[in-house]
Each structure stands twice: as structure tokens, then as C-alpha cells.
Amino acid sequence: MIRVLLADDQSLVRAGFKALLDAQSDIEVAGEAADGEEALRQVSALQPDVVLMDIRMPLLDGLAATRRITEDETLTAVKVVMLTTFELDEYVFEAIRSGASGFLVKDTEPEELLRAVRAVVDGDALLSPGVTRRLIAEFAARSKEPAIEQSLGELTEREREVMALVGIGLSNEEIARRLVVSPLTAKTHVSRTMVKLGARDRAQLVVIAYESGLVRPGWLG
């Protein structure tokens, strides 16, 4: 059973998400929070698998709450998915950088929300290729000249190749086709790369890929 915490200051939004999630046989809403401080208390007490976190909330905004969660070593199993009104919300960039596993617009289709919750728990890609490319474009606009991190030296040639493909927004299936391997093999390479680099999830792997210089703006095409 996937346990979800809903953190949003709009009761109607929480009610809608709760009705949808609780109707699934493999998902349950473990708790709700109307502000960032309450969200932190609930996360510590309930240890949910996924937190659907609104970016703008009173007392403590979702960005600060996410940073506190992802920096807490006792909460490493908790995945945070940011909720925003617009895909290009100015805080989305910082949310991903702070450790969020991805983000969803509030008016997303029900099927997409359910897929996202299940995907983030499984460690699969949550960000669609299109969203990933926009995210990298944002890095291109904000980041300074990248510096290769020593940790990349721990990767094999194939793992660096896979990491670069993740960085330009390819899914495991697309990586598999590009490298002529099975999707399971591609997923294994991605997982090993995340472990070696200490990345919580695929979203952070994209961050490292760009900031290390492994992926550059010109690759967006």
C-alpha cells in the first residue's frame, strides 16, 4: 500500500485528491496538512511514501518544507512531489534542486496523478521528457560555467552515457532503444548511477548531469 500525505492550504484541492487516491486499491491518504509546518510534523509522525506538496502555503512554504524533509537523514525514503498551478512556476527550478522528486500541475489528469504517485515510489521517471527539457533550459539560463565533479570519475563509460541520456530527457525505454539494450538493463544502469552519485532520484540525476557539465544547453536540439 502506497501511503500519501496531502499538503495544500486549499481544502477543496485536498478533498479532490483524497477522493481520487483513496479510491485506488494500492494507495491510501495517510494524512493531510494545511501549511508547511503541519506538513513537517505529519511527515515525521507518519513517514509516508509520498508527499504531494503545494509550493505556496502559509507559515512555511512548500519549498522550505521540502528542503527540510530531503535534508533529514531519517526521512530518506520519503519522496516529495511538488504541486503547482503552472508548469513554469518560478519556484519549480528550486524545488527540484532542493530534492523534490518532480512536480505536477494541480489540474493534471487523474490518470497522470496516479501514474506519478506510483512512478515516484518505484523510482521511475516522474518528469516527462518535455518537462525535463524545460527544466534543463532553466538551468542553462541560471547556472554558471559547470565544473566537473570528482564523483563522476566513479562512473563507468556506459553509466556516463546513460546519465547524459537521462539528462537530455530520455525515458528508460528511449535509452534502451538508443543503446540497443533492454528497458530493464537501462533502468539498472540508471539506478546504479544514482547510487554512485548519491542522487535521491532521477530528477536529481538531471541536476547533476547539467551542473557537472555532462549535459550542455546545445544538446537540447
In tens, the pLDDT along 92-105 reads 667 777 778 877 77
Q: How many CB atoms lie within 10 A of CB 160?
A: 16
pLDDT exceeds 90 at position 123: no
What whole-number distance in Å separates Cα of residue 76 and Cα of residue 92?
21
Q: How far apart are alpha carbons 194 and 46 in whole angstroms?
A: 26
**Interval 137-164: pLDDT, tens:** 666 565 555 444 556 788 999 999 999 8
CB 81 within 8 A of CB 50: yes
Q: Please tell me the predicted confidence (pLDDT) of residue 92.
A: 64
> In whole numbers, what is the pLDDT of the chain averaged over residues?
82
Predicted pLDDT at 88: 55
Q: What is the pLDDT of residue 220?
A: 45
Identify whether the C-beta of residue 21 lies closer than 8 Å to the C-beta of residue 117.
Answer: yes
Q: Record the pTM.
A: 0.70
Helical (H) or strand (E) element with 81:
strand 79-84
